Amino acid sequence: MKVQVGIIMGSDSDLPIMAETAKILDQLEVGYELTVISAHRTPERAVTYAREARRNGLKVIIAGAGGAAHLAGVIAALTTLPVIGVPILTKSLGGADALYSIVQMPPGIPVATVAINGAKNAGILAAQIIGCYDSVIENNLDIFKESMRAVVDNKAEKLEAKGYKAYLKEDMA
């Protein structure tokens, strides 16, 4: 599987969240690489990564960071590849600081932004971008979405058949 998505994070403390991106890309059979790059502590590494991303075969970059989360914006400023930002929950401001840092980009430097700790959705969005021109990934996404629909349909049937009291007793215990 060729690497098409770069998953980067500002610190290894972000790995438990960003691993959700890797898990969904594994499920959808999208190749990726994963590393730590800090916009503040390793700016040269960020510049090199962004400038070489296309040459290295990447199609999308997913950047997760908390606090003063400038990583996605720095990368987006240095490449024309789509960049998806994942704001990471922080203790001090509950992730709002990271969310605002990622979503409030100046004109000309767009960063698609998912929810705080929304790493799984970042992976799905990256796969959808790649699925626009890769029929295998498109098919994998169709299967994934159908499986989600089936889970909800099954839960709805059980709830409707049992009523909410029995459902809560049995399925929520």
Output the pLDDT for position 172.
Answer: 65
Pair 87, 15 in one domain:
yes
Output the pLDDT for position 25.
Answer: 98
What is the count of structural domains for the chain? 2
Pair 120, 96 in one domain:
yes
Pair 13, 81 in one domain:
yes
Pair 98, 13 in one domain:
yes
Output the pLDDT for position 2.
Answer: 96
Residue 96, domain CATH: 3.40.50.1970
Output the pLDDT for position 170.
Answer: 84
Rounded to two decimals, what is the model's pTM? 0.94
Range of the domain at 64: 3-133
> DSSP readout, 76-130?
HHH-SS-EEEEEEP-TTTTTHHHHHHHH-PPTT---EE--TT-HHHHHHHHHHHH
What residues have CB less than 8 Å from 3, skipping those under 6 apart?
A: 31, 32, 33, 56, 57, 58
CA–CA separation, 19 vs 9, rounded Å?
10
Output the pLDDT for position 137.
Answer: 98
Q: What is the three-class DSSP state of 42?
A: coil
Pair 47, 104 in one domain:
yes
Output the pLDDT for position 92.
Answer: 87
DSSP 62: E
Q: Which residues of 133-161 are buried (b: 16+ CB within 10 A; e: fewer)?
A: ebeebeebbeeeeeeeeeeeeeeeeeeee
Pair 124, 139 in one domain:
no
CA–CA separation, 168 vs 99, rounded Å?
35
Assess contact for 19 and 45: CB atoms under 8 A. Answer: no
Structure tokens at 129: 């971008």
Pair 49, 105 in one domain:
yes
Pair 129, 146 in one domain:
no
Pair 173, 117 in one domain:
no
Assess contact for 50 and 74: CB atoms under 8 A. Answer: yes
Pair 142, 125 in one domain:
no
Q: What is the three-class DSSP state of 28?
A: helix
Output the pLDDT for position 171.
Answer: 66
Output the pLDDT for position 68.
Answer: 86
Output the pLDDT for position 143.
Answer: 98
Pair 159, 88 in one domain:
no
Pair 113, 158 in one domain:
no
Output the pLDDT for position 27.
Answer: 98
Please report, in tens digits, the pLDDT of each residue of the chain (173 residues total). Answer: 899 999 999 999 999 999 999 999 999 999 999 999 999 999 999 999 999 999 999 999 999 999 989 999 999 999 999 999 999 999 989 999 999 999 999 999 999 999 999 999 999 999 999 999 999 999 999 999 999 999 999 999 999 999 999 999 886 66
